[in-house]
Chains A and B, each alone.
Chain A
Amino acid sequence: MKELLDDIGRWRSAGERIAVARVVDIEGSGPREPGAAMAVTESGEVAGSVSGGCVEGAVVGQALTILAGEAQAGITTFGYSDDEAFAVGLTCGGTIHLFIEELDW
């Protein structure tokens, strides 16, 4: 999260709404440890990463859905066991659990 603070600060002072995705758990090999985070603004700007680039696109989509009020904050899973794996799977073969929420706290 620390590496996102500059971007988040700038966005917040510009009045942008922001969603934050954090890695909370990994199974098998995962490119980033729990705590890795990325932030997405309503206008689609992105800072940070939660994988080696495998799932970031899908995370942006989910973050925007939450900011639009079309989904609740919650856990999103990417990986082998998931059907989505074929679309946005992790190349390392692991499973990654993310918690995505609006940064309104």
Chain B
Amino acid sequence: MTIFEQYAALLRADTPVALATVIEGPGVGAKLLVQPDVDAAGTLGHPELDRVVTRDALAELEAARSGVRSYGPEGQITPEDLLDQPTVRIFIESHAPPPQMWIFGAVDFTAALARVAKVLGYRVTVCDAREVFATRRRFPMADEVKVTWPGPVFEEIGAELGPRDAVCILTHDPKFDVPAVLGALATRVGYIGVMGSRRTHARRMERLAEVGVTDPADIERLMSPVGLDIGARTPEETAVSICAEIIATHTGRTVPSLRDSTGDIHA
């Protein structure tokens, strides 16, 4: 099968795939077809360039983003390595539904988190049971604002959540937090963050234990308190710490999360 035939088959099947094409520089027209967990097909002209572009294409695919990137002919990416080298410009075309972020709780932090998540390419939905707070006017950056309890949301969309998606529970209110955590744990969602002070967190874990959340594998999935331990103070800084934690969860990097430390959450 040619690259195009493989690409066409994957597109028809709605399988996530990225096609990298050299659009300028040596080897114009060369192609590399990239899929998660499958060896790339084709070549851009150098094994190291193929390796670097595969890595970048998978990240672009995860964010469902298409665009142009520049490299050296042997995959160089730092400016010093690119001196006196022809630039290879590569168009990465991604085909993937955007990852979803579901934010429970229409609080101050919600708007900042929705904004940062949009920058990263998420389709963002804000949910709160309180009609006065869950309004389009307060969250114009969200793709959708729903007045609802968590239970019905997970009944409706639980099955479609996957490893690329995120659930962030920002309510601080056990009435809402507990059903949201239970709903999220029943899905395959890749990230579950739950906001709160260390005291709120301790009380919430007691409540969750009372309703049967005792399996260490479940507890391991909860990023609570939510975010990296970077001393975030404002809603915006907190949003960055949450989104950075999501990235680290996907890449498998070890970074200091708040749930693994004991000190003050805010600097």
Q: Which residue numbers of A lie inside 8 Å of B, CB to CB?
A: 1-2, 5, 8-9, 22, 24-25, 33-35, 72-75, 97, 99, 101, 103, 105
B3 and A24 contacting across the interface, CB-CB below 8 Å: no
* Interface membership of B211, Cβ < 8 A: no
Q: How far is the CB of A4 from chain B (nearest CB, A)?
A: 9
Q: How far is the CA of A35 from the CA of B23 in the complex (A)?
A: 13
| Chain B residue with the shortest CB-CB distance to A23 | B66
Those of B206-261 within 8 Å (CB) of chain A:
none
* Interface membership of B154, Cβ < 8 A: no
B91 and A73 contacting across the interface, CB-CB below 8 Å: no
Q: How far is the CB of B65 from chain A (nearest CB, A)?
A: 8
B23 and A74 contacting across the interface, CB-CB below 8 Å: yes
Q: How far is the CB of B50 from chain A (nearest CB, A)?
A: 16
B28 and A74 contacting across the interface, CB-CB below 8 Å: yes
A25 and B12 contacting across the interface, CB-CB below 8 Å: no
B66 and A34 contacting across the interface, CB-CB below 8 Å: yes
Chain B residues lying within 8 Å of A2, measured Cβ to Cβ, are 11-12, 95
Chain A residues lying within 8 Å of B95, measured Cβ to Cβ, are 1-2, 35
Q: A24-B91, A97-B68 are in contact. List 7 more A-B contacts (CB 8 A).
A: A2-B95, A24-B68, A73-B28, A74-B23, A74-B28, A101-B21, A101-B29
Chain A's interface: helix, strand, loop or mixed, by majority? mixed
Q: How far is the CB of B118 from chain A (nearest CB, A)?
A: 15
Q: How far is the CA of A99 from the CA of B2 in the complex (A)?
A: 20
| Chain A residue with the shortest CB-CB distance to B91 | A24
Chain B residues lying within 8 Å of A1, measured Cβ to Cβ, are 7, 11, 93, 95
- B interface bracket (residues with beta carbon within 8 Å of A): 20 to 34
Q: How far is the CA of A10 from the CA of B259 in the complex (A)?
A: 56
Chain B residues lying within 8 Å of A105, measured Cβ to Cβ, are 2-4, 29, 31
Q: How far is the CA of A1 from the CA of B68 in the complex (A)?
A: 17
Chain A residues lying within 8 Å of B2, measured Cβ to Cβ, are 105
* Interface membership of B100, Cβ < 8 A: no
* Interface membership of B24, Cβ < 8 A: yes
Q: How far is the CA of A28 from the CA of B148 in the complex (A)?
A: 38
* Interface membership of B94, Cβ < 8 A: yes
* Interface membership of B67, Cβ < 8 A: yes
| Chain B residue with the shortest CB-CB distance to A20 | B4
* Interface membership of B8, Cβ < 8 A: yes
Closest 6 A/B residue pairs (Cβ)? A34-B66, A35-B66, A24-B91, A99-B23, A2-B11, A35-B93
| Chain A residue with the shortest CB-CB distance to B94 | A35
Q: How far is the CA of A25 from the CA of B266 in the complex (A)?
A: 40
Q: How far is the CB of B48 from chain A (nearest CB, A)?
A: 22
Q: How far is the CA of A25 from the CA of B67 in the complex (A)?
A: 6
Those of B1-36 within 8 Å (CB) of chain A:
2-4, 7-8, 11-12, 21, 23-24, 28-29, 31
A34 and B67 contacting across the interface, CB-CB below 8 Å: yes
Q: How far is the CA of A73 from the CA of B31 in the complex (A)?
A: 13
Chain A residues lying within 8 Å of B93, measured Cβ to Cβ, are 1, 22, 34-35
